[in-house]
Structure formats: C-alpha cells, structure tokens
Amino acid sequence: DVKVTQSSRYLVKRTGEKVFLECVQDMDHENMFWYRQDPGLGLRLIYFSYDVKMKEKGDIPEGYSVSREKKERFSLILESASTNQTSMYLCASSPPGLAGVHEQFFGPGTRLTVL
Amino acid sequence: AQKVTQAQTEISVVEKEDVTLDCVYETRDTTYYLFWYKQPPSGELVFLIRRNSFDEQNEISGRYSWNFQKSTSSFNFTITASQVVDSAVYFCALMSLSSGNTPLVFGKGTRLSVIA
C-alpha cells in the first residue's frame, strides 16, 4: 500500500522558533510537494522538488525553505516561525514526469500552531 | 494564467439526494489535465479522477460521474444517491503545460455535508 507519512499530525511552536516538517514517501517518486491549506484559500503550493537536491518555488515560498537530500524525504523548514504560518501543511508525491501531470499522493497533514 | 473556480463553498444535502459540484477552469493551453480530489474529515486528500483536455468523454464510476465540457470550461462532479460517507471537502485542480511555478492549481474546495 503506497504511503506518504508526515512526522507529526499536530505541532505547537513559539514565534521565532525554527520548525522542521518532515515528509517521507515509500513509492520511489521523483516529485514531492509541500502545500499549505487555509480556510477559504484552498491548497497553495509552497515548494516542490522533482529530484534529489532540486527544488522549485511555488506560489508562496516566502518564510519557508526546503531540503531534499534523499529521494524519499522532503523537509519543509520554517526558519523563524510566525503566527501567520499557523496552518495545515500537506505533503504529496507523484511519479516521475512533468510535475502535476500525474496523480499526487498526499500525507495526512500536519496542523501547525504558532503561538 | 491558470485558475480554477469552485463557486459553491458549502453544500448540504439529505442522504440519497443527488448533488453536483461545479468546477470552472481557465487556461490558454490546449493541453491540460483536470483532477478531482476528496478530503474526508481525516484530512488526507484522495485522488478521484484525472482527465486530459483531449478526452471529453464523460466518466462514471459507481455513484460518481464527471461531466467535462470544453465549450464552457467546466468539469463538474455529480454524486448520485449521496451517502453520509460522501461528506468531505472536494477539490478540483488544473495542470497546464505552461503552469509556471505552480504545477497544479487547486480550486478553493467545496464542503459537502450529507445529512442522514
């Protein structure tokens, strides 16, 4: 059974903290994505990666960075968390090929609260 | 620019009713893909269907059906004889070859509540 896992379902952090959100997939997918989901705004792409050590900015990369050192793992980093980064974060992966063409497999999400 | 509009923010129906979720898209590309995803209360988005722009055949899968009409730039989703388990947020999404920074553009979603 294909799977995308995220390190935490719920996370509470303080303003200014450095936050790591981890995502692991076991499907040998080249493409991986980080989205944030906010009420009334749908899903917005933060970053995506089409290969190890490769990354592309999405629509809202400000305040975030990513790391992809291994094919199966894609990390989202909040360098200095702020309250406006309180949100649901969703990780996804998809098979090789043009990013977005194929079905994406999603993780369960991490609900991050920044106090 | 690519855009997906799901005008219905929330819909509430009684079990066994039919319900249609609307999706209107904008793109200048002639080659593109359209998707529907379901997000149940557990939070994990689940893929339902993908359609490419060259295939306008409607699709039926059990109680689910999709109506793709290029003339109106719509890709609507109908659930027949709705059930409580259909309660979820449904997202329509678009992938165009000239998507720029965003490979897949999502609509804002429609929250469907099916009441027993």
Tens digits of per-residue pLDDT, A47-84? Answer: 999 989 899 999 999 999 999 999 999 999 999 999 99
CB contact under 8 Å between B91 and A108, yes or no, is no
Cα–Cα dist A2/A107, whole Å = 10
- Top residue of A4, A10, A37, A48 to mutate, by most chain B CBs within 10 Å, is A37
* Higher-confidence position of B32 and B56: B32
**What's the Rg (C-alpha) of chain A?**
13
Query: Regarding predicted confidence, which is higher, B29 or A23?
Result: A23
CA distance B111 to B23: 13
Output the pLDDT for position B3.
92
Cα B112 to Cα A36, B12, B22, B78: the distances in Å are 21, 6, 12, 12
| pLDDT confidence bin for A6, thresholds 50/70/90 | very high
Q: Please report which confidence band the pLDDT of residue A4 belongs to, taking 50, 70 and 90 as the band edges.
A: very high
| Secondary-structure percent of chain B, ordered helix, strand, coil, rounded to 5 | 5, 55, 40
Confidence of residue B58 (pLDDT cuts 50, 70, 90): confident
Residue A95 has pLDDT above 90, yes or no: no
Q: What is the arithmetic mean of pLDDT over B80-95? A: 96
Q: Which residues of A touch B47 (CB under 8 A)?
A: 103-105
- Answer whether residue A98 shows pLDDT above 80: no
Is pLDDT above 90 for A15?
Answer: yes
From residue B26, give the alpha-carbon distance in Å to each of A45, B3, B33.
18, 5, 12
d(CA B6, CA A100): 19
End-to-end CA distance of chain A: 37
Q: How far is B26 from chain A (nearest CA, A)?
A: 16
More confident residue, A51 or B82: B82
The per-residue pLDDT for B101 is 60
- pLDDT above 70 (res B105): yes
A16, two tokens: 């200014």
Q: For residue B53, what are its two tokens?
A: 């722009």
